[in-house]
Each structure stands twice: as structure tokens, then as C-alpha cells.
Chain A
Amino acid sequence: MTGVGERRERFEAAYRELYAPICGYTLRRVREPEDAAEVIAETFATLWRRFDACPQGAEMRPWLFGVARRVIGNQRRGERRRTALGERLVENLDQRAFATADSPGDSSALARAFASLSDSDRELLSLVAWEGLTREELAVALGANRATVRLRLHRARKRLRDALPPTQARFTGGQEHEWT
């Protein structure tokens, strides 16, 4: 098999493994299907371009979350773009499936407290809770060292706890090792 063919095969395997997690990551943070399609397409385009230099194995997934995070950051700064790749993807939008994904937001005290956090804190906590990243994987996704991640996570937890009503303040007061 040629180098090009082998590269494509390895990329395809990674793509199939990571497509759903990246779709999930994106659609949990981006509400518009067009924007989500752009993020997904751009994220995997970056993976394709940098496939030879990006982390391989278990580190690829958190690294790709980091890529998606920055692509979303671009969008949130108002730098939206429409590309052929994203257009192609959004052409396949399944409205019924999107309706399921576009469920109304939670209005619980926890949801309100979570929403009141900074983008940075929310991202940190959701990477743990939604993407299931470990501390090591968080460090890869955020491009920071483990000590920094641990500290930021600790502070995010505290701010979430502070944002909760007193009756629920024990929410994040449990086994800290689960979080850090």
C-alpha cells in the first residue's frame, strides 16, 4: 500500500471513530445546524491537514476536541464562514434528528448555575461531564499542563458550587477526586 493510501486509511479509521464524539461536542455547544456543520467540517479538515503531525492514539480525541473548541471560538468572535465542506454536510441535515438534538434547555437550578459560569469554566466542566475527559485528556484538549488543569478545574467547581442555591450547595462538595 502506498504512503498516501495508508494515510487515507488511517485517517478514515480515526474519522469513523471520532465523528460521533465531534458531532456531539459541537451540537452540545452550537445551536445552529449550519454553524455546527461548519465546525465539524473545519475540525476534520484540520485533522486531515495535520494528520501526520497530530497526536495519535488515545490523545487524538482530546486534541481534536481542542481543535473544535478553537473553531467554535472563531465562530463566536463573529468570524463565520461558509465553506463547500460545511455546505455539503448541512445539505444532509435530518430535520427530525435535529429537532431531537435541539431540545429546549434545562431550567433547573443546576442548569442556571452552570449557565452563569464563564465560558471557560463551563467548557472545563462540560469536557469532564459531557465528553468524559480525564485530567490528562483535559490537559491535551486545553493545551495546558496537568497542574494548571487541576487548579482551573478546582476553581470552576467552586464557582459552580457558589452559584448554586444554598440548598444545593453540596452539589459539588462531594468526592473531589472525581473531578480533579
Chain B
Amino acid sequence: MSGRSSIESLRQLARVSDVEAAAVFGAAGREELLEELTRLPVGRRVRRQPIVRRRPFVLAVAFVATLATAAAAWAIFHTSAQETTSVECVIKGVDTIIPATSGDPAADCAVQWKRDEGTAAPPLRAYDNGDGGVTVIPSSETPPAGFKRLVSGQDVDLIQLQASLDDFVNGLNSSCLSGAAATSLTEGRLSQFGLAGWTVSLRDNGSAGSASPAPAETKQAPREKATGTRAGTSTSSTRARRPSRCSQDPIRTGELRPASPTRCDRSPSAASRCRPPLPTSAPPPTGWASRSPPGRTSSTP
């Protein structure tokens, strides 16, 4: 088979042609997007608010467990930039959000840069982006207004806690936990990582009728001013709003509700699509969880 025909053969593996793909969102979609794009500000990064989607959730118990994760994560994110557990790397102009791993945001982004680009990253510099997140850009670039040089790295204990809670084997994602079990697990991890001064609580979710882990309309933050920052990079914010769709074993949970088909159900990589929300920009409802680090005031009951 010649090189030419081999290209043709591989080409036939393409599921869809450009023309077919462009038709998927129609001419109206194309024109509306163009219209919206040209209204965006020019020349600076655009932080758009994510859209909250309300969908029926699958398991009430899973929801409770998710709330526990959400609350714990919110507590992590809703402090200073250094207490976030993700990093926004601007790689050749594109925002790339990665989970923090080392505590050194610039080093984490350098690894991601190498992975994405196949080449070593240029010298990078980490900033508090003013939105409560950490953004890393090349040292040669001038940071946008409002960025402040990050003088020290991220809290490694928090990074490890986040990874531990997110774990699909023995973390909150491992099964659909009861509220008590989720609370216990979270408290155990806090203790394990030596994070004192935290409390974990569950929202009274008796009605369990709304998949709204982090309602955007909630106005009251338990301790919004504790650090004077509003947490979350743009993508992290989205993770906060993604409704959880935990479709765990119905026998184990015994409370499987009629579920409309979800992407989680259909996807072969369900696990990766079933990540619980990680609240950042939206304050959690009153009573979700609070963090009271030594020397700080908590307004959460």
C-alpha cells in the first residue's frame, strides 16, 4: 500500500467531515457565536462566568457525599491563592488548568508545558491572579493588571488533601458514601494531613430534589472576607458548578433513582466524568462547611 493510499485509509477513519461538523451547530450557531465573540474585550484574558445547569441527580446518597467533597474543596479554594490546589498555566496564550502537584506552580506548569509542547518551558513565573487563583506565565511576559507575584508556593498539605479526597480508590469518589461516612472520611484525612482548625458539616439535604451543589444564587458566604479574596480560577469555577452524576452500584447504595441518560452513564470513561464539583467562586450554602484556621474567624454555624 503506498504512502498516498495509507493517508487515504487513515482519512477514512475520520468520523465526520468538516462540512458535516460545521452543520452540527447550524448557520445560526455559527453566526451567534461570531456575534458573541466580537463583543468580547480585546487583548486580555476573559474570565467568563460558567453557566449553572440543573439536572436531576442520580443518587441522593451520592449527592450528600458530593456535598462533603464540595464543602471541603470550597474551604480549600475559598481562601488565598496560595491555598488553591490547581494552577492556571498560560501556555502559548491558552489557559491550561492543571492540578497542583509539587507546591511550586511554576515547576508544575513547566512539566505541563513539556508535556503539551514537547519542548522545555521558558522561565516561568507564578502570580496571584487577583481572583484567588494562581496563574503562571512566562517570565518574559508582562503580567496583566491586578496580578501579584507569588512569593511562595502553594500549600503542599492542601494539595495532598485534595488528591486524597478526590481519590477514586479510597477517597470520596470510591463509592456513594453516606453523609456520616463522608464526614468521617474527610475528618480523617484532615487529621492525617495535620490540618487543624477545620470543621466538616453536611447540609441538611432531606429534600434532595435539586442537583445544585453550588448554587450560584446563594449570596451569603460563610466567611467570604476571611482572606479578602474570591477563590478560583475560571476553570476551577466550572468544576464547582458541574452537577455530580454518580452512578454507583445500585445494590450497594440501594437507592437508585430513575435517571435520565447522562453523559456519565454512557461514557466509557465514566470515572473521569463523574468528578464531584469543586466549589471555588460560588460560596456554598450556609452550613455546608467551614474552615477555621487558627487565628481566623469562622462565621459558619
Decide yes or no: A94 and B26 within 8 Å by CB, A40-B33, A81-B234, A101-B20 being known contacts: yes
Residue in B7, B24, B263 whose CB lies within 8 Å of A27: B24
Inter-chain contact B7/A79, CB cutoff 8 Å: no
**Which residues A7-55 have CB closer than 8 A to chain B?**
7-8, 11-12, 15, 19-21, 23-24, 26-28, 32-34, 36-37, 40-41, 44-46, 48-54
Residues on the A chain within 8 Å of B20, using CB: 24, 27, 97, 100-101
The proximity string for B residues 1-15 relative to A, scoring 1 for CB distances below 8 Å and 0 otherwise, is 111111101111111
**B40-48, B63-71, B124-132, B251-259: which one contacts chain A?**
B40-48
Cβ of B38 within 8 Å of any chain A Cβ, yes or no, is yes
Residue in B13, B117, B235 whose CB lies within 8 Å of A142: B117
Inter-chain contact B18/A24, CB cutoff 8 Å: yes
Inter-chain contact B13/A19, CB cutoff 8 Å: no
Inter-chain contact A19/B48, CB cutoff 8 Å: no
Decide yes or no: A92 and B32 within 8 Å by CB, A67-B93, A73-B96, A98-B24 being known contacts: yes
Inter-chain contact A46/B24, CB cutoff 8 Å: no
Residues on the B chain within 8 Å of A76, using CB: 272
Give the CA-CA distance A173 to B2 in the complex, in Å.
Answer: 7
Inter-chain contact B21/A77, CB cutoff 8 Å: no
Inter-chain contact B97/A79, CB cutoff 8 Å: yes
Give the CA-CA distance A96 to B99 in the complex, in Å.
Answer: 37
Give the CA-CA distance A52 to B43 in the complex, in Å.
Answer: 8
Cβ of B197 within 8 Å of any chain A Cβ, yes or no, is no
Give the CA-CA distance A76 to B22 in the complex, in Å.
Answer: 22
Inter-chain contact A28/B36, CB cutoff 8 Å: no
Inter-chain contact B38/A100, CB cutoff 8 Å: no
Residue in A28, A92, A105 whose CB lies within 8 Å of B26: A92
Inter-chain contact B239/A80, CB cutoff 8 Å: yes
Expressed in whole angstroms, the minimum distance between the Cβ of A44 and any Cβ of chain B is: 6
Residue of A nearest to B241 (CB): A82
Give the CA-CA distance A125 to B23 in the complex, in Å.
Answer: 25
Expressed in whole angstroms, the minimum distance between the Cβ of B63 and any Cβ of chain A is: 19
Expressed in whole angstroms, the minimum distance between the Cβ of A105 and any Cβ of chain B is: 7
Give the CA-CA distance A45 to B96 in the complex, in Å.
Answer: 14
Cβ of B34 within 8 Å of any chain A Cβ, yes or no, is yes
Inter-chain contact A178/B30, CB cutoff 8 Å: no
Residue in B29, B48, B239 whose CB lies within 8 Å of A92: B29
Residue in A27, A84, A98 whose CB lies within 8 Å of B51: A84
Residue of B nearest to A98 (CB): B24
Expressed in whole angstroms, the minimum distance between the Cβ of B239 and any Cβ of chain A is: 7
Decide yes or no: A102 and B15 within 8 Å by CB, A77-B97, A93-B24, A97-B23 being known contacts: yes
Give the CA-CA distance A21 to B29 in the complex, in Å.
Answer: 15
Expressed in whole angstroms, the minimum distance between the Cβ of A169 and any Cβ of chain B is: 10
Inter-chain contact A24/B238, CB cutoff 8 Å: no
Cβ of B98 within 8 Å of any chain A Cβ, yes or no, is yes
Expressed in whole angstroms, the minimum distance between the Cβ of A46 and any Cβ of chain B is: 6
Decide yes or no: A46 and B93 within 8 Å by CB, A24-B22, A89-B29, A171-B6 being known contacts: yes
Residues on the A chain within 8 Å of B15, using CB: 27-28, 101-103, 105
Inter-chain contact B34/A103, CB cutoff 8 Å: no
Inter-chain contact A36/B24, CB cutoff 8 Å: yes
Give the CA-CA distance A114 to B13 in the complex, in Å.
Answer: 9
Residue of B nearest to A51 (CB): B42
Inter-chain contact B37/A45, CB cutoff 8 Å: yes
Inter-chain contact B21/A91, CB cutoff 8 Å: no
Residue in B12, B23, B33, B92 whose CB lies within 8 Å of A143: B92
Expressed in whole angstroms, the minimum distance between the Cβ of B105 and any Cβ of chain A is: 15
Cβ of A106 within 8 Å of any chain B Cβ, yes or no, is yes
Decide yes or no: A103 and B16 within 8 Å by CB, A81-B235, A97-B24 being known contacts: yes
Cβ of B95 within 8 Å of any chain A Cβ, yes or no, is yes
Residues on the B chain within 8 Å of A82, using CB: 50-51, 53, 238, 241-242
Expressed in whole angstroms, the minimum distance between the Cβ of B277 and any Cβ of chain A is: 11
Inter-chain contact A101/B24, CB cutoff 8 Å: yes
Inter-chain contact B238/A20, CB cutoff 8 Å: no
3 interchain residue pairs of minimum CB distance: A81-B238, A178-B3, A92-B29
Given contacts A48-B37, A79-B238, 6 further A-B contacts (CB under 8 A): A51-B42, A79-B97, A81-B50, A128-B10, A130-B13, A170-B1
Ordered by A's residue number, 7 sampled pairs between the chains whose C-beta atoms are within 8 Å are A23-B22, A24-B20, A40-B33, A41-B37, A48-B38, A78-B272, A98-B24
